[in-house]
Each structure stands twice: as C-alpha cells, then as structure tokens.
C-alpha cells in the first residue's frame, strides 16, 4: 500500500534527500518549506505521516505540531532536530509527537522510525473504519422480519456467506441492499477484512475508472500523487458495487476483466496489480432489459449473476412493517435519548395501509420523524407524517374494480403519477434527487415529470 508522507524543512536539499530515501519504500513524498506551507498541503492531500524540522522561520516545528494535533489528532508526527537535546526530545513527545530523529540521521534508523509510524497510522485507520461500520449499520441485527419472502432472503444469505461467489442483489430502491451486503460480509470468511462500498451512480463518469482502480501521479490533470482505488482498498475483503446498472459501458469491460482475472491496472500505470476481492453488486434496474437494449454487457451480467438474491418490496412483506418500525423506534429513540414502549394500534394500522414506495428507507425516515414528534411513551397515529393518510394510488398491477374504468385514462394515470411524486417529495423534504431515488427513476426523468404535471417544489413539502 502506498503511503503519503509530508516532509517539512526550510532546507531544499534535505527535503530532496528524504524524498529520495523514502520513495524507495513505495512512499509518495510531499514537501513544504515551513509550517504554514505544510498546513496548506494537509488541507489538500491525504497525508499519513508528517516529518517536520524543529527550527524553521515563521511557524516552527513546535507550533506546527500543536496545529496538527488540534486539526488532525490522529496524524502521527516525527520531529527532526539538529539540536538533539533531551529537553527538545522530551518536549516534542509531551506535545504529541510520535517520535523524533536527530540530524544528521542514519537512513536505516529513519526507515525504522517511519515504518513504525506508518504501521501506527494504518492501525488507527482500520479502527476508525471498523468503528464507523459498527456505528452506522446494525448489520445482521437490522435484518428484521419473519415474512415468507424475507425468510427466503435470510436463507440465501446463510447459504452464500461463507463462499467467495459473486452476488447480485436486486430490488427496488430502499429495500436494504447495502444492509444485506454488509450482513453477508460480516458473517462470512472475510469479516475481519475491509468492506468497501461504491455507488456507481454517484461518481462522475470521468472519475469512475480512477475511483475503481486508482491512478499514478501525473496520469491526468489534478493527479498530484499516487492513489489506490477501491479494488485495492477492498483487497482480501468485500467490494460492494451499488447501482451497477448505471456503470458506463466503457468501464464495464475493465470491471469484467478484474472479476475474471483478479488483476487491475491503475490509470497511468501499465503494471498489473493482483487483487483478492469478493464482489457484491446491487441494482434496482432490470439488467436483462439493459442487456437487450445494449446498455449493459451480457458477459458482465452473467459474471455478476452467479448467486442472485432478489429483495422484496416492503409492500410485499406487510407483516414485517410492525417489527421493523419497532426496531427503528428503539434504535433511533435511544440515539435521541428517548424510550418508546411501541406504537398504538391505530399507528400500526396506518403504516400497514400505506404502500411505501420508498420501502425500508422511507419507513426508517418516517419512524425517525415520529420519534422526534412523539411526546409520550408510545408513538401515536398523530405522530406519523401527514402524507401517510393521503389518498394513495393502488398498488401497481392491481386489478381495476368493475365500474371504476376512468373516462379519461391519461388524466387518471397523471393523477396516480402525481400522487407518487408528491409522496416522494414529502418524504424527502423536497429534495428532488432523493425523491427520484425513492421512486426508482433518474433525476432527469423526475424533473420532466414535475414540469409535465405542473408540480411546484418548495424547499420543504408538507
């Protein structure tokens, strides 16, 4: 793994010497002539270690150390000084330096000290990553439900979790695809290795290749240092490719090669890098339709579809709404310092009648709002958002009752479309991109429908 090290010294020759010595160890070296310059570099680059002189004009070593400990408390600093007194060394360690080296220094001693500091940095990063994963996701504990359709999902997870097979998760937006991917990772044979998630639809097409495979310094404008991609970050672990159906065709061929041959090539670097990654992909699109329309590679589809797991929409597992709502009320209420005994019967009935176009994500947002509004020990019907009680369109595909055929089909369809869009806008507080995601269409298509239906969007739709 490439590390980024910042060397801070007002002597250019010494900076060059250190850059030459450290670069032999697969380290990318940045330099700064003083403390103020160093802080600017830290603002723009992902630095793993700072090696700073003790005495410099302007902001000196002790001042820079103090600033780094305030702004970047997890970043190790090694102090260099030609004035290697016990007093200076002790003072730097007391102020938070990882270690110190005396000038003139021995290269072997420098290598050992730098290696220890970077190992320390890697441990801190791993701990922060694992803590973030645990805090943000309850993982298998959040896979709540006992409906027949959801039991089939749990059975599939149990069947595949110990294998290294590629998995394709399908289902509407908000059905919990990333939660399922994390559960498979946590309870599989790679649980102690990284889980790296990439939303293929959220990264600009021009940056997606670099994001996936990394790049070498100078490979393109703005590539000021080496960077490892998501495949290498997930090495020995799991790579979750969300919204895989939105990946550009040009990149699909390179993803296919990475899956087949387990090698990648960073942008600007012809050398192949071996990777050992278990891939879980997810989409809310029908990939077979995309293949037929030449929007998705057929060979990549079959490479991803080794073990498909379809996730049911929430309206298809109505019996799971109540236990999911109780789970969210317990966890979200605890985070807000509240305890709830549950929901009233009227509140549960209202949630069961709603069609939940945004699925589990929408239910979680609904319960979060209710936990904020509720003043009693139980969440009541009036604590739920008003849009749950608005006239809802029939479930897609439901038969039309006798005598209910509309006189104007276009107008009736427009009313159904408008109801879905207004419900999504209400749930997303007027954020159009989020509303589009809730109902599973592109932002461009969503904007077109707003204009066609004459819907004016305020910042917050009530």
Extents of the domains making up the chain: 3-132, 148-312, 317-389, 396-462
Q: Domain 317-389 classified CATH 1.10.8.60?
A: yes
Phi-psi region of 68 (alpha: psi -120 to 50; beta: other; left: phi over 0): alpha
Residue-wise pLDDT for 60-114, tens only, equals: 888 899 899 888 888 999 988 775 565 666 777 777 888 888 877 788 888 889 9
317-389 with 396-462: one CATH topology? no
Q: Is the pLDDT of residue 397 over 60?
A: no
Residue-wise pLDDT for 343-385, tens only, equals: 999 999 999 999 998 899 999 999 999 999 898 889 999 999 8
What is the per-residue DSSP string for 303-362?
HHTTEEEEPPPGGG-GGGHHHHHHHHHHHHHHHTT----EE-HHHHHHHHHS--TTHHHH
At residue 277, the pLDDT reads 95
User: What is the pTM (predicted TM-score) of this model?
Assistant: 0.59
At residue 446, the pLDDT reads 83
Rounded Cα gap, residues 369 and 378, in angstroms: 14
- What is the third-level CATH fold of 3-132? Rossmann fold (3.40.50)
Q: What is the mean pLDDT of the chain?
A: 84
Q: Which CATH superfamily is domain 148-312 in?
A: P-loop containing nucleotide triphosphate hydrolases (3.40.50.300)
- 257-269 burial, b at 16+ Cβ within 10 Å, e below that, comes to ebbeeeebbbbeb
Span of 109-123, 137-151, 220-234 with lowest mean pLDDT: 137-151
> What SS3 state is found at 173?
coil
Rounded Cα gap, residues 252 and 114, in angstroms: 39
Rounded Cα gap, residues 418 and 290, in angstroms: 27
Q: What is the mean pLDDT of residues 273-302?
A: 94
Q: Are 273 and 226 in contact (CB under 8 A)?
A: no
At residue 403, the pLDDT reads 43
CATH class for the domain made up of 396-462: mainly alpha
Q: Is the pLDDT of residue 175 over 80?
A: yes
**Which residues are 279's β-sheet partners?**
239
pLDDT > 90: percent of the chain: 41
Span of 112-116, 255-259, 391-395 with lowest mean pLDDT: 391-395
Q: Are 438 and 428 in contact (CB under 8 A)?
A: yes
Highest mean pLDDT among 257-271, 277-291, 407-421: 277-291
Tokens 């090669």, located at residue: 257
Span of 152-156, 177-181, 437-441 with lowest mean pLDDT: 437-441
Beta strand residue intervals within 55-112, DSSP E: 77-81, 99-102
Rounded Cα gap, residues 179 and 140, in angstroms: 8
At residue 88, the pLDDT reads 67
Kindly report whether the peptide bond that precedes residue 104 is cis, defined as omega within 30 degrees of 0.
yes
């Amino acid at each position: 793994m490439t590390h980024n090290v910042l060397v801070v010294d007002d002597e250019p020759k010494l900076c060059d010497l250190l850059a030459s010595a450290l670069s032999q160890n697969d380290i990318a070296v940045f330099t700064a002539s003083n403390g103020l310059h160093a802080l600017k570099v830290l603002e723009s680059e992902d630095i793993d270690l700072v090696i700073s002189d003790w005495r410099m004009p302007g902001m000196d070593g002790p001042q820079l150390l103090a600033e780094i400990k305030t702004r970047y408390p997890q970043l190790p600093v090694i102090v260099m000084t030609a004035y290697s007194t016990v007093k200076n060394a002790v003072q730097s360690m007391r102020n938070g330096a990882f270690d110190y080296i005396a000038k003139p220094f021995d290269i072997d001693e420098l290598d050992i000290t730098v290696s220890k500091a970077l190992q320390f940095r890697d441990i801190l990063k791993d701990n922060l990553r694992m803590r973030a994963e645990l805090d943000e996701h309850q993982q298998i504990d959040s896979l709540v439900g006992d409906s027949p359709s959801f039991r089939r999902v749990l059975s599939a997870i149990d069947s595949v979790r110990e294998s290294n097979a590629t998995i394709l998760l399908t289902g509407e937006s908000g059905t919990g695809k990333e939660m399922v991917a994390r559960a498979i990772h946590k309870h599989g044979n790679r649980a102690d290795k990284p889980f790296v998630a990439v939303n293929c639809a959220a990264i600009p097409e021009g940056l997606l290749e670099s994001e996936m495979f990394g790049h070498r310094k100078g490979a393109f404008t703005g590539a000021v240092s080496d960077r490892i991609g998501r495949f290498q970050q997930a090495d020995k672990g799991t790579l979750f490719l969300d919204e895989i159906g939105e990946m550009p065709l040009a990149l699909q061929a390179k993803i296919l090669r990475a899956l087949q041959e387990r090698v990648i090539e960073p942008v600007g670097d012809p050398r192949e890098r071996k990777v050992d990654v278990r891939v879980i992909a997810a989409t809310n699109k029908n990939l077979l339709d995309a293949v037929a329309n030449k929007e998705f590679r057929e060979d990549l589809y079959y490479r991803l579809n080794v073990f498909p797991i379809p996730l049911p929409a929430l309206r298809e597992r109505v019996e799971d709404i109540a236990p999911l709502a109780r789970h969210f009320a317990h966890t979200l209420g605890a985070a807000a310092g509240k305890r709830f005994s549950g929901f009233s019967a009227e509140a549960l009935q209202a949630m069961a009648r709603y069609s939940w176009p945004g699925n589990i994500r929408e239910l979680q947002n609904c319960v979060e709002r209710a936990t904020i509004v509720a003043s009693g020990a139980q969440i009541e019907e009036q604590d739920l958002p008003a849009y749950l009680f608005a006239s809802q369109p029939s479930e897609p595909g439901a038969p039309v009752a006798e005598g209910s055929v509309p006189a104007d089909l276009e107008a009736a369809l427009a009313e159904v479309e408008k109801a879905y869009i207004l419900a999504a806008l209400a749930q997303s507080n007027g954020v159009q991109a989020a509303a589009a995601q809730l109902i599973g269409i592109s932002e461009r298509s969503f904007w077109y429908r707003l204009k066609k239906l004459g819907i004016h969007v305020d910042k917050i739709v009530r």
